[in-house]
Amino acid sequence: MDKAHTSSHRTTDEYFKALYQRDVVLQVDKLTQSFDQGGSKKVILQDVSLQIHEREFVCVIGPSGCGKSTLGRIIAGLDAYPSGEVIVDKEVVKGPSASRGMVFQGYTLFPWKTVKQNVMFGPIMEGRSKSNAERSAREWLDIVGLSKYENHYPHQLSGGMKQRVAIARALINEPKVLIMDEPFGALDPYTRQKMQKHLLDLWRNIDITIVFITHDMDEAVLLSDRIVVLKANPGEVQDIIEVPLARPRAPDIVTDSRFLQLKARINNIVHNPQPQPDFDPALAEMPDIPRMVPLDKKDQQVNH
């Protein structure tokens, strides 16, 4: 394990110096993505460029419509792109590959398969024997703490457990890069905090680079080495920010003054006062809502 992952006794300058000396595992160069929208072309991403190093944890954040999920899908090889280049582990991304794993916010498990069968799916599709896939699945289910549930079906699991299965299913193929698109967005706050800690424990102990897409600034600062901030309309890299907080990070770091200052900085960038066109034109025509129920006398007195 790279000692840069255990930085509690190192300065952040030393941490980032070591990080930048590692090989670049993901390179995005002048990436542009657009879609047809009502007969015209809508540019979602424009000239996006960035480099991510081995075993780095990078969060991507930005306002709605900035293309962060689109960027994740392109890196994963799920969406084609007309312009630019995306390279993972020295290979140009042209489609899905075992070198890239993907975890979505929605629970994308096969409902008719057991937990173990869901995790085995990738290796079997790669041509590994059933016994080999089963052995690997059990190892990963043990790592994510779900060995006792290997014969359960997805509908028998909680939301956090389903996401742990999804993470195990993505990691069993030993990808170089794991892309996570708001994976904890549907979880309650307590489960979300537990999953964040579990993910950091996994990341510290395996050879993996994580690209984590989120709209939650607390989550981005808590998890990241660096944060890529996108602007919207079109999606462009507005800033790439180092997180100068030593690891490991306890959940109560969210009250630390340095944490709050960094969060305020990101908030200022994301919610830049410069006017931006609405991604959804209908948002520009939001009507005033009339009162549907008459106020009683007490409410009238309060409102006056």
The closest alpha carbon to 81, from 69, 95, 68, 91, belongs to: 95
Q: For residue 273, what pLDDT is reported?
A: 46
Locate the DSSP E strands across the chain. Answer: 24-37, 40-53, 57-61, 83-88, 91-92, 100-103, 177-181, 209-213, 226-231, 236-242
Residue 127 zone, left/alpha/beta (φ > 0; ψ -120 to 50; rest):
left
Given a cut of 60, is residue 6 above it in pLDDT? no
Tell me what pLDDT residue 151 has: 96
Give phi and psi for 41, each to the nearest 5: -95, 125
- Give me 143's structure tokens: 């790592």
Sequence-distant (6+) residues with CB within 8 A of 21 are none
Residue 294, pLDDT > 90, answer no
Residue 104, domain member (yes or no):
no
Q: Which of 21-35, 101-115, 181-195, 243-257 ranks highest by mean pLDDT?
A: 21-35
Examine the domain organization and report whether 167 and 91 are in the same domain. Answer: no
Return the bridge partners of 51, or none: 27
Percent of the chain with pLDDT over 90: 67
Question: Structural domain of residue 145, as residue ranges?
Answer: 109-174
Place 284 in a pLDDT band, splitting at 50, 70 and 90.
Answer: low
Q: Is residue 191 part of a domain?
A: yes
% of the chain surpassing 70 pLDDT: 87
Domain shared by 268 and 134, yes or no? no
pLDDT at 274 over 60: no
Q: Is residue 32 part of a domain?
A: yes
pLDDT over 50 at 102, yes or no: yes
Could you tell me which residues are beta bridge partners of residue 88? 26, 91
Radius of gyration in angstroms for the set of CA atoms belonging to the chain, rounded to a whole number: 22
- Average pLDDT rounded to a whole number, residues 138-161: 94
Same structural domain, 222 and 135? no
Contact partners, residue 277, CB within 8 Å, separation at least 6? 233
Number of domains in the chain: 2
- What gap in Å lies between CA 100 and CA 71, rounded to an integer? 13
Q: What is the pLDDT of residue 4?
A: 41
Same-domain pairing of 74 and 200: yes
Does position 161 have pLDDT exceeding 70, yes or no?
yes
Provide the CB-side half-sphere exposure for 183 (13 A, CA). Answer: 29
What is the C-alpha separation between 28 and 42, in angstroms, rounded?
Answer: 20
| pTM of the predicted model as reported, rounded to 2 decimal places | 0.85
* Boundary of a domain, candidates 174, 195, 226: 174
Task: Determine the pLDDT at residue 295.
Answer: 62
134 with 124, same domain: the answer is yes
Over residues 51-64, the pLDDT tens digits come to 999 999 999 999 98
Evaluate whether residue 27 is within a structural domain.
yes
**Quick check: 66 and 235 in contact, CB under 8 A?**
yes
Provide the mean pLDDT of the chain.
87
Higher pLDDT, 5 or 258: 258
Q: Does residue 57 sit in the same domain as residue 188?
A: yes
Choose the weakest-confidence range: 14-18, 20-24, 184-188, 224-228.
Answer: 184-188
Residues 205 and 228 occupy one common structural domain: yes
Q: What is the 3-state secondary structure (H, E, C) of 163-208?
A: HHHHHHHHHCCCCCEEEEECCCCCCCHHHHHHHHHHHHHHHHHCCC
Is residue 252 a contact partner of residue 266, using CB atoms and an 8 Å limit?
no
Residue 34: strand pairing partners? 43
Helices 159-171, 130-143: crossing angle, 10 deg rounding: 130
In a domain, 294, yes or no: no
d(CA 271, CA 294): 37
First-to-last C-alpha distance (Å) of the chain: 65
Per-residue pLDDT at 137: 96
Residue 231 predicted with pLDDT over 50? yes
What does the pLDDT average to over 250-256?
89
Q: What is the mean pLDDT of residues 159-165?
A: 92
Residues 6+ apart with CB under 8 A from 13: none
pLDDT over threshold 50, residue 39 = yes
Instruction: Judge whether 132 lies within some domain.
Output: yes
Does residue 40 lie within any of the structural domains?
Answer: yes
> Which range (114-123, 203-212, 270-279) has the least confidence?
270-279
Residue 11, pLDDT score: 75
Say what the pLDDT of residue 300 is: 58
Amino acid letter, 176 = K
